[in-house]
Amino acid sequence: MDSIGKMFQGKKFLVLGVANKKSIAWGISEALHQQGAELALTFMNEAIEKRVRPLAAELGDALALPCDVQSDEEISNLFAELEGRWGKIDGIVHSVAYAEREDLQNPFSQTTRTGFQTALDISAYSLVALCGRAKPLFSEEASVISMSYLGSERAVENYNVMGVAKAALESSTRYLAAELGESGVRVNAISAGPIKTLAASGIPKFKELLAHFAEKAPLRRNVDTGDVARTALYLLSPLSSGVTGEVLYVDGGYSRVGA
């Protein structure tokens, strides 16, 4: 890990999606901080700001900046602030997703039009918008990662419109990788197994899903934020210099077996 630490010393990363210490984004932020990175965290409203600012203080006084990813103006303001403070950025960690609770609980065919638009906007289009605005600020060999899930390619019970959003996210990853690759920027996604987070609490029968994964996965356990964070370090560092447009599974092998 010492060599990775040297790689991240002086590097600057934007992290979206920290809600509390159970967040996947928090696990990645902690790992980056421990390896010498300078960080900026975002919050979308005052309620989340109250939780994010103390967490930012634990990460070497990381920046805490407002950004509602549904607002082009706030995205633009975010990167204007980062350009003024940092000049360049070395990567983005996109760990943002949302769907209305009723659109997860109801049959998929009953997904509302506005619910569909909201899920796709926040969970997938936001990555496109962020990369578009960040493009002139990316340093050489910058890296972007986002968080996906197996529901993107399989019909997972109660995942519904979020599965469609994750499929769009993964497709967007490939198109962004093709576009940004000529300037040396890599774009990848991590498809993690189910983890107890605030976002996951909105999925019906989530405890049963965790138990099923632990029983059927080759490793016979659920993954945690540490497993995902270590893979994130790999994708954000020069160790993965030849990897882009990929979806890496961190799910104990569940996606590889006929469970």
- Active-site residues, by number, are 149, 159
* The three-state (H, E, C) secondary structure of 49-97, written as one string: HHHHHHHHHCCCCCEEEECCCCCHHHHHHHHHHHHHHHCCEEEEEECCC
Token pair belonging to 185 = 């920027």
Q: What is the DSSP letter of 247?
A: E
The angle, 0 to 180 degrees and rounded to 10, between the axes of the packed helices 126-134 and 72-86 is 40
Token pair belonging to 220 = 């016979």
CA dist 174 and 154 (Å) reads 19
State whether residue 237 is helix, strand or coil: coil
